[in-house]
């Protein structure tokens, strides 16, 4: 409707109201910005991705300088599957909006200077042009380069000219595992250990040779794509593939249909890897909600072990992530 009114009369006051409503309905995250449908309309092929593409095209035509547009482009680009989107409708509308974005943003006419500084010191100064448009600049700093008793300031500036400047900043710090606290950067993940006969009381130690039920819980406030969970194992435990005939027999009391024992939403994780050092879960799409995945492990080695926290993140936007707490686990 906003586009139709704009074509008829760009000065129509109703356009501003409609654009404000669209802006208020936007769902921002570190992965970009998107819009969601309240209900699925199968007759009109509406999906969250198709709607996001249509809204993006509306902003490009009416308010191309709106910051929501660039973030919507990032969201659409991150939610492809093997180079395309899930349906012809999604693909068609997305390609139309991205084409309009390339024209409006003058990406292929990029020409500006930029600089990167940290705490008042210049780190890099360069020129972005159509010749190096696809060549990213990578800067890596050591922890010793940062201030420890005050706030650090990373400053990125650019001069006049066409094109957009994109950047990402990551902080990677290693701490003793028992001092690592949970972190929520768009999703939360946690892990607990249980005995087979008690699914309510978490444990931190177990007898050697016993089986352990591991429960991993993930909470995502918004729908997400290409989510990967990494759950490191204590060195004294080994994950059990219950589908193998050679695996230890699971007691009959273990009922897969029981929520506390089997979990909830695990069917969204299409790929599971039981490695020596960790369990890896992958999902192409997760609607907003809570997901509980459980698996079995056997206590095989005596000792007190430091357990690396579980982590979860969007594969193409690793800054949208969550981390559990570090812990200790004893096999006696």
Write down the pLDDT at residue 318.
79
290: pLDDT strictly greater than 60 = yes
Higher pLDDT, 175 or 187: 187
Element (H, E) at 125: strand 121-129
Interval 44-60 mean pLDDT: 90
Strand partners for 285: 225
| DSSP annotation string for 285-328 | EE-SEEEEEEEEEEE-S-EEEEEPPPEEEETTEEEEEEE---EE
Write down the pLDDT at residue 251.
46
169: pLDDT strictly greater than 90 = no
DSSP-assigned letter for residue 40: -
d(CA 326, CA 328): 7
Write down the pLDDT at residue 99.
94
d(CA 17, CA 243): 57
Provide the mean pLDDT of the chain.
88
229 with 189: CB under 8 angstroms?
yes
Give the lowest-confidence range in 110-124, 158-172, 188-202, 247-261: 247-261
Interval 248-272 mean pLDDT: 62
Hey, which of 129-133, 164-168, 211-215 has the most confident mean pLDDT?
Answer: 211-215
Q: What is the third-level CATH fold of 177-331?
A: Immunoglobulin-like (2.60.40)
User: Cα-atom radius of gyration of the chain, to the nearest Å?
Assistant: 25
Name residues whose C-beta falls within 8 Å of residue 267's C-beta, 6 or more positions apart in sequence: none
256: pLDDT strictly greater than 50 = no
d(CA 208, CA 189): 27
CA nearest to 228, candidates 303, 137, 151, 291: 291
Q: Give the tokens for residue 284.
A: 């192409």
Q: Give the tokens for residue 331.
A: 């096999």
26 with 19: CB under 8 angstroms?
no
Interval 151-180 mean pLDDT: 87
Q: Is the dihedral of CA 188, 191, 196, 202 positive or negative?
A: negative
Residue in this structure with the two tokens 């191309």, named with its chain if needed: 64
d(CA 40, CA 308): 40
CA nearest to 116, candidates 141, 97, 93: 141
In the chain, pLDDT over 90 holds for what percent of residues? 58
194 with 280: CB under 8 angstroms?
no
48 with 285: CB under 8 angstroms?
no
Give the lowest-confidence range in 14-23, 38-47, 149-158, 302-311: 38-47
pTM above 0.75, yes or no: no
Interval 43-71 mean pLDDT: 90
> Could you give phi then psi for residue 280, rounded to 5 degrees?
-120, 130
Band the pLDDT of 252: cuts 50, 70, 90: very low
32 with 75: CB under 8 angstroms?
yes
Domain boundaries, the chain: 2-105, 109-158, 177-331
pLDDT in tens, 86-111: 788 889 999 999 999 989 988 888 99
């Amino acid at each position: 409707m906003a586009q139709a009114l704009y074509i008829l009369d760009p000065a129509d006051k109703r356009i501003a109201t409609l654009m404000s409503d669209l802006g208020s309905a936007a769902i921002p995250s570190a992965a970009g910005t998107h819009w969601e449908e309240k209900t699925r309309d199968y007759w009109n092929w509406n999906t969250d991705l198709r709607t996001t593409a249509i809204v993006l095209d509306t902003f490009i035509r009416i308010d191309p300088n709106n910051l929501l547009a660039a973030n919507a482009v990032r969201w659409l680009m991150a939610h492809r599957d093997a180079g395309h989107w899930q349906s012809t409708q999604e693909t068609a509308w997305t390609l139309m909006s991205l084409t309009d974005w390339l024209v409006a943003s003058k990406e292929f006419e990029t020409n500006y200077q930029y600089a990167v500084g940290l705490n008042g010191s210049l780190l890099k100064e360069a020129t972005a042009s159509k010749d190096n448009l696809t060549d990213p600049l990578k800067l890596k700093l050591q922890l010793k380069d940062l201030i420890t008793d005050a706030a650090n300031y990373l400053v990125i500036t650019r001069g006049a000219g066409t094109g957009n400047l994109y950047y990402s900043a990551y902080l990677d710090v290693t701490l003793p595992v028992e001092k690592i606290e949970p972190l929520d950067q768009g999703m939360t993940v946690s892990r607990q250990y249980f005995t087979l006969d008690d699914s309510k009381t978490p444990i931190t130690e177990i007898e050697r040779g016993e089986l352990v039920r591991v429960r991993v819980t993930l909470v995502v406030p918004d729908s997400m794509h290409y989510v990967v969970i990494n759950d490191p194992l204590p060195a004294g435990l080994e994950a059990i593939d219950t589908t193998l005939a050679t695996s230890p027999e699971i007691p009959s009391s273990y009922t897969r249909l029981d929520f506390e024992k089997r979990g909830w939403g695990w069917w969204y994780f299409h790929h599971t890897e039981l490695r020596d050092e960790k369990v890896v879960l992958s999902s192409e799409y997760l609607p907003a909600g809570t997901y509980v995945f459980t698996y079995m492990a056997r206590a095989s080695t005596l000792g007190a072990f430091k357990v690396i926290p579980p982590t979860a993140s969007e594969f193409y936007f690793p800054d949208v992530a969550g981390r559990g707490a570090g812990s200790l686990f004893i096999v006696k």
